Structure 1
Amino acid sequence: MKVEAVCREFVRLHSQARNKSWREAERILEREFIDTFGQRDIREIKRFDILEILDAAVARGSTYQANRILATIRKLYNWCIERGIVDSSPIVGMKAPAKEVSRERELDDAELKALLRACRNDAYPFRQYVPLLLATATRRAELAEMRWSEIDGEK
């Protein structure tokens, strides 16, 4: 019932099967949860333990990330309850640490030129990837997970 083992099973059995961006959940759990509580029994993790992680993220200016951390840990504990690993979640009723604000930022011409110049001198995959992101205005993860079958060469 160690945090590290339970998290790895969660990623393997739940996240990989149900979530295209499971690597992000794995990264969050590894960096924020396993690194902090890896060898502790998951049943001993309390609300204030989770709040410490979230408060640290907010303190370093990562409010959006704090919300993602909470969402990932919430999914983990819901899965643990379904599996009978824990009887209750320490984060029941916990609200997101920060209100998310939609970002509306555009690169100006000088920034675009500098970015494309930097990509020209970079190695694979950024040399090809970043200009394609700019040309399609696609989200980073959507483009990264795109399959050739989704591309219509005719259009």
Structure 2
Amino acid sequence: MIEALEASGTTEPLDRTFKQAAERWIEDKGRPTLITRQLELHVYPAWGERKLIEIKRADVRDLIRGLEGEVLPNRVLASLKSVFTHAVKQDWLEHSPADHVDKPKAEAARERVLAMDEIARVWRAAGLLGYPAGPWARVLMLTGQRRSEVAGMRWADVDLDAGTWTLTASHTKAKRAVLVPLPAAALAIIRDLPR
């Protein structure tokens, strides 16, 4: 969509909307659908068609303050900062209105670990779910990798003979490649998946 607008010459940097900037950032960075959904639910209704240059720091603060929960406001703020920084790099903005906006809430570290009986219940429940959620949940439990990493697993990254899964740098939070040894149970689940 953005390429078509640029090719037609109808969208000058001063006319760009927040949604256009966000879509460009998502397109350029290949961001996961979770962030797209987050923007659709919490940002586009307020700012989707608003011009980038009209959004001020106070608007960012107000939007973030209006979000509920311990984690969501921080995640949305992080996405906003990324979108605005990308817009600055594209010369669509002089500066980011999200600069110097602090996280509204400190997040408590997650330290909860499932007890053995809970693990067994989750395992059984995953078996009832069927494809794709059931195998995904079981591979998640067996590998200990992040949800987004398991959800983004590609056949090209799995070596069934060696029993390994290569997480490419573009698919990890740390932005570096990781070789994950796959336990026999995970390999069995992966082998049974449709290609």
TM-score range normalised by the length of the shorter chain: 0.7 to 0.9
Higher strand share: 2
Residue 15 (str. 1) matches residue 29 (str. 2): yes
Matches within 5 A, 1:1-155: 1-12=16-27, 14-16=28-30, 21-57=31-67, 60-61=68-69, 63-152=70-159, 153-155=161-163
Aligned length: 147
TM-score by length of 1: 0.82
In the TM superposition, residue 154 of structure 1 has moved relative to its aligned partner by 3.1
2:192 aligned residue = none
Q: What RMSD in Å do the two structures reach over aligned CA positions?
A: 1.9
In 2, Cα distance between the equivalents of 1:53 and 1:7?
16
In the TM superposition, residue 23 of structure 1 has moved relative to its aligned partner by 2.5
Give the letter aligned to residue 33 of structure 1: V
Any stretches of 5+ residues in structure 1 without a counterpart?
A: none
Structure with higher RCO (Cα < 8 A, 6+ apart):
1
In the TM superposition, residue 106 of structure 1 has moved relative to its aligned partner by 1.1
Deviates most, 1-10 or 103-112:
1-10
In 1, Cα distance between the equivalents of 2:92 and 2:151?
34
Give the letter aligned to residue 141 of structure 2: L
Deviation digits for residues 92-130 of structure 1 (CA, Å, limit 9, x no counterpart): 212222223321111123322221222222131122111
In the TM superposition, residue 37 of structure 1 has moved relative to its aligned partner by 1.2
User: Does the residue aligned with 1:121 lie in a helix, a strand or coil?
Assistant: helix
Give the letter aligned to residue 15 of structure 1: K
Note closer, same or farther for the CA distance 1:135–1:10 as it changes in structure 2 (3 Å cut): closer
TM-score by length of 2: 0.67
Structure 1 residue ranges, 4+ long, deviating more than 4 angstroms after superposition: none
User: Does the residue aligned with 1:39 lie in a helix, a strand or coil?
Assistant: coil
Deviation digits for residues 53-77 of structure 1 (CA, Å, limit 9, x no counterpart): 21122xx22x222212111111111
User: Does the residue aligned with 1:99 lie in a helix, a strand or coil?
Assistant: coil
Larger Cα-atom Rg = 2
In 2, Cα distance between the equivalents of 1:133 and 1:6?
33
Identity of aligned residues (%): 26
In the TM superposition, residue 80 of structure 1 has moved relative to its aligned partner by 1.2
Note closer, same or farther for the CA distance 1:154–1:6 as it changes in structure 2 (3 Å cut): closer
Higher helix share: 1
In the TM superposition, residue 9 of structure 1 has moved relative to its aligned partner by 2.3
Note closer, same or farther for the CA distance 1:95–1:22 as it changes in structure 2 (3 Å cut): same
2:191 aligned residue = none
